[in-house]
Chains A and B, each alone.
With several copies, the nearest count.
Chain A
């Protein structure tokens, strides 16, 4: 699966994207957010405020309780500030 990071989530993780095989127990966006915190210092810092972090599954906004089964691309980012 492809994971993407934007804005301060990207800055804190130190990477903008990665290809990764997720542990089988991860079923929802929320599970994935919690798992991210366990991936070392940078990821712990990036996902500390996991409540404010938004996610998109295959380029569509997804809630934290959304199932990730079948997803090819999941992105994490702060609330948007364009316009």
Chain B
């Protein structure tokens, strides 16, 4: 499931909805990304998220589909906020549910790595030292690349 929204999200409510009263889920992993009050060398007072409506949903759906193809997931969720955010605010939530913990962990990490390189969002930061667009990090490309070299946990023995 995918949502782009300006408002905040509530972790408990989202996970309850994700579980949907199912009793065959053994493992739920969530990743929450939050606005930090400083970048590599400067203080951040606010962050504004721009995105490409239409393409964003398309890319996130593609990424989510890819995760479901690689791991035995029972459910997944990606929520990404847009608009102006303050330090401490939530930016993104990724959640994965599986019978087994390694599948849930790997799929959540995979979703974040792909989201960071493929989903059309851009961050604009403002602070006392000025304002500017956040530069993409080369490490995010490397983080995505590791999923090409590495096999999924699908073949590994089951473990909750």
Q: Which of A's residues lie within 8 Å of B, judged by CB?
A: 4, 6-8, 11, 56, 59-61, 75, 77-83
Residue of A nearest to B62 (CB): A60
Known contacts A7-B124, A8-B133; A82 and B116 CB within 8 A of each other: yes
Q: Shortest beta-carbon distance, B57 to chain A, in Å? A: 9
Residue of B nearest to A83 (CB): B116
CA distance A61 to B3 in the complex (A): 20
Contacts of A61 in B (CB 8 A): 59, 118
Complexed CA–CA distance, A60 and B58 (Å):
8
Distance in angstroms between the alpha carbons of A11 and B80 in the assembled complex: 23
CB neighbours of B25 from chain A (8 A) = none
Q: Which of B59, B118, B133 contacts A78 (CB 8 A)?
A: B133
Q: Does B134 contact A (CB under 8 A)?
A: yes
> What are 19 sample pairs from A and B whose C-beta atoms fall under 8 A apart?
A7-B122, A7-B133, A8-B133, A56-B52, A56-B55, A56-B120, A59-B58, A61-B59, A75-B120, A77-B52, A77-B120, A78-B133, A80-B116, A80-B117, A81-B123, A82-B49, A82-B51, A83-B121, A83-B160
Measured between C-beta atoms, what is the minimum distance from B4 to chain A in Å?
10
* A80 near B122: Cβ-Cβ < 8 Å: yes
Please report B residues at the A interface, Cβ cutoff 8 Å.
33, 49-52, 54-55, 58-59, 80, 91-92, 101, 112, 115-124, 133-136, 160
Q: Find out whether the CB atom of B52 lies under 8 angstroms from the CB atom of A59.
A: yes
Q: How far is the CB of B142 from chain A (nearest CB, A)?
A: 13
Measured CA separation A83–B51 after assembly (Å):
11
Task: Establish whether residues A80 and B54, one from each chain, have CB atoms under 8 Å apart when the complex forms.
Answer: no
**Which one of B55, B58, B112 lies within 8 Å of A83 (CB-CB)?**
B112
Whether the pair B122, A81 counts as a contact (CB closer than 8 A) is: yes
Complex contacts, B50 vs chain A, CB 8 Å: 6-7
